[in-house]
Structure 1
Amino acid sequence: MPGPDGSDGVKKILGAVADIPVGLGELRNRRYGTGHGPAGARTGLRPRHAHLAVNAALTWCHLVLDTLSGPDAPWRKTI
């Protein structure tokens, strides 16, 4: 019996979480951050956008760390 990671709901959520770094990179590179991109004034973003970006990044980080530390992770199995 396949585990919950194979369910449609989990697949959809994991797919969306996988897009988080892409979205954060786009914000950073298009004048919405102090990283890459053309120099100029940062405009258009509000505190809610900052909260969204930070919380999305935290969600991604938690998932990656939980996955890496999981005792049943495939790379932990011995043959």
Structure 2
Amino acid sequence: MTHKNIETVKRIDFDRLDMLVSERIGALKLYAQNIDQAEGGKDAHDAICRDLILPCVYALAQFLESVKLDEAQQ
């Protein structure tokens, strides 16, 4: 029996994933910091927060809760 999931995980380019996730988090941070000055209606920005940012932050929080690191390992 093959261990398909293990083989899939071994092929992940974690350095690239780290870079891409960091870029996206940086973009969301800038957006959040400047949301009051952004053009467009408040309804549109509220929808972006509701449909994009909050679900992503929730998923990230779940990930952080699931993958705990020992303080000594950091």
Give the alignment's TM-score, normalised by structure 2: 0.49
More helix per residue: 2
Bigger relative contact order, structure 1 or 2 (CA pairs below 8 A, ≥6 apart): 2
